[in-house]
Amino acid sequence: GLSGQRTWTPAWRDAKPKKRYQAVIIGGGGHGLATAYYLASKHGLRDIAVIERGWIGGGNTGRNTTVIRSNYFFPESARFYDFSLSLYENLSRELNYNIMFSQRGMWSFAHDRHGVEMLRRSVNAMQINGADAEYHEADEVLRRIPGLNPSPRFPILAGLNQPRGGTARHDAVAWGYARAADALGVDIIQNCEVTGFDIREGRIAGVQTTLGDIAADRVGIAVAGHSSVMARRAGFRLPITSYALQAFVSEPMKPVLDTVVLAPSTGTYLSQSDKGEIVVGSALDLFPSYAQRGSLPVLESTAAGLIDLFPQFSRVRLLRQWAGIVDVVHDSTPILGESPVKGLYLNCGWGTGGFKAIPAGGFCFAHHMATGEAHTLAAAFSLDRFRTGALIDEASASGIAH
């Protein structure tokens, strides 16, 4: 800092595109960068490009509320998300980059007796699936979360805590994977949009970009809310609807909240960042949109939900608000694997909850792109499930705001 940053070296090269790569990944978010890193580190590929139309981490990876958890219901999801959580637990060491992973626990509440039954069911499912989960009565919830309103509009009857859940610094996850991938020779190409595909006899042969054509016989799409746009360019459709999901932060305060809290009644959830801001998110803006901004009614109801849970925050000022475009699949489960075009792979459908999935998403996607076979942890997430009917309806775990 005192040197005016003059002695700092860039953490990754500003790569210019080559004419051909062994593998091209479209989208420099967490999933794209993690995929490139694991392709290089686990599968020995060296000739890889990540193509990003803006700047890396400028999509949802840099816009999310950073909640990491594995409180899913079905074994397929629980196994996958718990694997992701376990990769997060060692990620700072693996990447030699501090991602500020803070396992401060994540609470979710029940507000009526049906909610209590569902909560008990979730705790059972999580424990059977090997994830950590605790069930607590209301008095224990209030004891553990200081400042929580004891009589909110929707009463808190019980709580589910996942102690290993928490938050991480979102930018650091993108930057950590980028630096590690670059060190293994991956070309990270920013300000380059993929505008089309070169497809010959049903097989991918390359991509068209604003910086020229690039040949590759293995291409991965990891563009979140723009997955259906890319699919259309490749000539097929995806069961994805894109919505804006918004969040906001307050002005910074001294530490007041040492865990993550979610109230399903209002959809409001919050945590406190290391800078001291209260980070607040909520449900989707429920109309399809590619406009990267949230609407006022959702912001208003989220703020109302926040003040209901923590009335003392009513005097705190809002610092900024933003939104990202998320890719929602109708069974709230991601799509990971092959597309109708041979050699063109899909990593999408993370909806409101793909930040927590970045390590496992990248790991399994790299496995599929390198070997041509689905990783066992992700085999159930194929696009084919919309033909076979083997859907994994995780709406109760991920239908809310992350």
Stretch that binds ligand FAD, among 29-37, 102-110, 147-155, 251-259 (CB under 6 A): 29-37
Strand order in the sheet with 194-200: 194-200, 203-209, 212-215
Stretch that binds ligand FAD, among 110-118, 120-128, 320-328, 376-384 (CB under 6 A): 320-328
Among 52, 76, 285, 331, binds ligand FAD (CB under 6 A): 52
Name the minimum Å distance from CB 71 to ligand FAD: 12
Instruction: Give φ, ψ of 135 to 5 degrees.
Output: -105, 130
Contact 302, 282 (CB under 8 A): yes
- Is residue 394 within the footprint of ligand FAD (CB under 6 A)? no
- H or E element, residue 170: helix 170-183
- Nearer Cβ to ligand FAD, position 157 or 292? 292
Contact 292, 330 (CB under 8 A): no
Name the minimum Å distance from CB 67 to ligand FAD: 3
- Is residue 245 within the footprint of ligand FAD (CB under 6 A)? yes
Parallel/antiparallel/unpaired status of strands 158-162 and 278-288: unpaired
CB atoms within 10 A of CB 109: 26
- Is residue 326 within the footprint of ligand FAD (CB under 6 A)? yes
The phi-psi region of residue 392 (left if phi > 0; otherwise alpha if psi is between -120 and 50; otherwise beta) is beta
Closest CA to 11 of 67, 57, 63: 57
Among 78, 222, 257, 370, binds ligand FAD (CB under 6 A): 222
- Nearer Cβ to ligand FAD, position 159 or 361? 361
> Tokens at residue 398, please?
């991920």
Contact 17, 193 (CB under 8 A): no
- Is residue 246 within the footprint of ligand FAD (CB under 6 A)? yes
Among 63, 136, 368, 375, binds ligand FAD (CB under 6 A): 63
Q: Collapsing DSSP states into helix, strand and coil, what is residue 203?
A: strand
- Nearer Cβ to ligand FAD, position 63 or 218? 63
Name the minimum Å distance from CB 322 to ligand FAD: 7
- Is residue 281 within the footprint of ligand FAD (CB under 6 A)? yes
Residues that bind ligand FAD (CB under 6 A): 26-32, 51-54, 58-61, 63-67, 193-194, 222-224, 226, 245-247, 281, 323-324, 326, 350, 352-356, 402
